Each structure stands twice: as C-alpha cells, then as structure tokens.
Amino acid sequence: MKAILGNKKKSDPIDAETIANLLRSNFFTIAYPYPKEMRATRDLLRRRHRLVRIRAEGYTHIHLICHQEGFADITSQAVKDKATLRELISRFSDLSLKKTIATDLDIIDMLDPYIK
C-alpha cells in the first residue's frame, strides 16, 4: 500500500494498475489469517503494548516537567529508577506540579503489575 500512497496522481484506475503490478511481481503481501488458538494471546499482547505506551507517556511527562523546571541533572533513566522516583516530588516547590507528578507516578505504579 506504500507504493500506492507514493503516487503523485491518485485515481482508482491508477491504484488498480499499481496493485496489479504488485501482484504480478509478487511484492503484494498475502494476508495472514491468525490461528484461532493464538488470537487471545495476540489480543493480550496488543493490550499489554497499549499499557506499556501509557506508562511510557507517564515517564516522559515527568521527565518533561523536570526539564521545564530546570532540573537538567535528571535523566530519563533517573526518572525510571523506582528507588528514587518518589523522592523526586520533594524537589518541586509548586503544589500543582507535585500533584501532577504524584498522579503520573500512581498511574505508573498501577500499570506495572498488569504489564508484568
């Protein structure tokens, strides 16, 4: 489908010709019907992937706030360190930022067991 999207001119006859050429040259990928017994596992992995992305957004948000507040010494690896992460809240003076980071941390802590 990337070959079709790359065309400068778009119309149904041009798209049909491009697909026909892809089929002729065996560059058109054949659909894969996932085995029925593995579909539940696939769906579970999709859900886990979504939870991992949400957790990563939380880490990124905390790291972004640290940079906005001028804490250049805090790296992304330091944000992911569970031992010192809660201590990070004490470095902020603004109550709303403390609550925002605490909320992100609570979400991260809640997602960890589900991801495992």
For the range 31-39, what are the long-range contacts, defined as Cβ-Cβ under 8 Å and sequence gap of 24 or more? none
State the pLDDT at residue 3: 56
pLDDT greater than 80 at residue 30: no
In angstroms, rounded to a whole number, what is the distance separating the alpha carbons of residues 29 and 104?
41
Tokens of residue 103, six digits: 């909320």
Angstrom distances, CA of residue 56 to CA of 24, 64, 104? 43, 12, 10
pLDDT greater than 70 at residue 96: yes
State the pLDDT at residue 112: 94
Higher pLDDT, 23 or 29: 23
pLDDT greater than 80 at residue 97: yes
CB proximity list for 98: less than 8 A, separation 6 or greater: 89, 92
Q: What's the whole-number average pLDDT of the chain? A: 86
Q: What residue spans define the domains of the chain?
A: 36-115
Tokens of residue 26, six digits: 């065996």
State the pLDDT at residue 106: 94
**What is the tens place of the pLDDT at every residue in 41-86?**
999 999 999 999 999 999 999 999 999 998 888 888 888 888 888 8
